[in-house]
Amino acid sequence: MAEKSFVIASRIQLEKNDFSASKDTVVRPRRETRGNEPRNEREALISALRRSAEEWVSEDWTAVAKAINERVHELGWRQRELAERSRVSQAIVRELQHHTVERRRSTRTLESLSVTLGWHPHHLDAVLHGRRPPEPNDPVTDQDDTLWSRLDSLEQRLDEITERLDDLKIGLSTVIKNVKPGG
């Protein structure tokens, strides 16, 4: 069944409030969707970008800069000293302290600065995401341990699958030999 087409204006003359339609543009009716599902790939991409932008906005780099600056002042350090002690480049320390460049930083960078400043390794990450920073003596929960254990189990499962495929290959070649005429 052919889709119905509707003619809409290709030009709207706002000065005259003329919203009449011209025959230049044909627009097909929108496909209905259920709920908030994207209608097409482009819309899905825009939706994903919007979500990542919202996540990015929730990061408070100004609070990170303020926390670093206050602590450096308390300790009586200079920027260069913080950079040397934390083994983070002075350019990155400067960007963080002055909040000149807003971009994602490595978790290791924030951890190194946190530890150097006498805080819990996840202190600056907590500040960044608006959470209460852990106390310096709180236990460190390493999210990477969970990741590594999951990767190890996946690797083990892949090895099992590979063994099964090898067994199937051998079994299949035996069947093929026996089925061939004159085999």
Cβ of 128: how many Cβ atoms within 10 Å?
20
Residue-wise DSSP of 57-112:
HT--HHHHHHHHHHHHHHHT--HHHHHHHHT--HHHHHHHHHT-S-----HHHHHH
CA distance 59 to 104: 9
Give the pLDDT confidence score for residue 6 in this predicted structure. Answer: 37
Q: What is the pLDDT of residue 39?
A: 59
C-alpha to C-alpha distance for 44 and 56, rounded to whole angstroms: 18
What is the structure's pLDDT at 154?
A: 82
What is the pLDDT at residue 63? Answer: 94
Helix (H, G, I), strand (E, B) or coil at 29: coil
Rounded Cα gap, residues 97 and 5, in angstroms: 58
How far is residue 153's CA from residue 95's CA, in Å, rounded to a whole number?
40
Residue ranges in the chain modelled with pLDDT below 70 = 1-57, 142-149, 182-183
Using CA atoms, how far apart are residues 95 and 90, in angstroms rounded to an integer? 9
Per-residue pLDDT, 98: 93
Q: How far is residue 106's CA from residue 56's CA, in Å, rounded to a whole number?
A: 14
Can you read off the two tokens belonging to residue 154?
A: 């996946």
The pLDDT, as a whole number, for residue 151 is: 76
